[in-house]
Structure 1
């Protein structure tokens, strides 16, 4: 098979498209003919040698990627034959191996893809969608809500805008540059503004006409987060799930006592509940997409251009979920 391999930690140029041995499914595993592999911002940090939330860095050489969708084409010992030929999506957990034409994972990680989703959309929902569903556990949205969504043209931002609108909330979407702002408008935001314009907070206040924000969804941090938090009214909530403006190297989220809450971590899993909280969120995410309440945005790259995909993601030149297609 062909795959993206990394022989040393460092820049995107260290990702090379190579031919390598086909993986073999072990007991309780399946092999997937990959049609779409998700690219996460965390992948770029791991590529540079930053462990992030992982227990340890992968051994080199490695095939990056932890989100795949495709068709089951081989079964390991003990796996029911009904899985053969199924359209499936899976998050590989801490195991890498997604940036490839073939990937192996435990059968327990599989979800059958709803018929109205293509492979790339399914990959977006199994990772980005799962996180979005986890974030939404920390607030209740309704007609009285005013939601400010940072990075509203991104993978999570796109889904948050759609979900909030479906719940009846007034939605303010922030994005960088005219093209992304136009996409946020098309996605359903009541107001889309360019955070690169210094007067964007005044535009938001003028639009709201005296109303105040009730919740800020923040995966950005930095000055944009500070200005967004200032839009909150009494009792408002600042939900922090990333700080891309500060970078993944040494950034820390903006936290305001009594207002801000970091929502990634054990509390998210506790709220999800069930014997497997991760799968609870995955199923919730896929069901929301299957019902048409949310539709993920996707930026597609050929598998061989993984390095270009990483650079584009790091430079904020993408919209929605970045996906590699063999």
Structure 2
């Protein structure tokens, strides 16, 4: 791995190159962070252009209804993921011999969590807008996407191996194809539901693609196993993260839901267009953490001093 990654070092300033040159783990983390940054920058650029076009085409009211439905669904995203991301990555690094058991159990848990989150989202929209059939349909379609999020377990595995580039290739390829599809829908003067089904199709393609990438680059899907004891252990560790995740999503999305209830969908549309621009920078700390987290966890196995040193280096960054 080091031989494949040292060519880019010559482009770094001499001081930085001296600090990185003989540290393969840091090189892997930097490269992985670069892939994640590239992914988000591409999505920011293309997504912003296409998103603005879609918003202008749909108009404030329909765009607002779409974002209102997405906010309802997002409220229960923490239930779908069960707060397992960091915990699963940690276990994959610390206990590689039980990786198949961890992956299989996590897939099942998140599939169940996705179904539960879907039911909660449908219940919420039925309570919030009992007479709005279109809003109910939007939430039902977008909410079912959370069931497919169970395949994010593949993403966790690649994160634990610091090889996010395979996931980036897959997701960006599908993202670009669907961006073209959305432009086509605009030119064809398609309905709002056509854009919702396009988002649904993107999620299905990503889910199937993730499993395919793992089968090609990771291992055999048939080797995955489900363990009741592992499930209990994962949930025991993750329940505080579920609560914190719910709190975060309420904080981030309740404004759109309140606007939709008090002022209507048009106000949500105008507000959501501005919020999306302000949220594009949220990925920076997430990308850094995702890249260095496996190395920090691995250090815990070897030395408490090394573990604390790497943790402090992260906080100082």
TM-score greater than 0.5 by the shorter chain: no
- Please give the TM-score of this superposition, normalised by the length of structure 1: 0.27
- Please give the TM-score of this superposition, normalised by the length of structure 2: 0.27
Greater radius of gyration (CA): 2
Q: Report the structure, 1 or 2, having the larger strand content.
A: 1
Q: Report the structure, 1 or 2, having the larger helix content.
A: 2
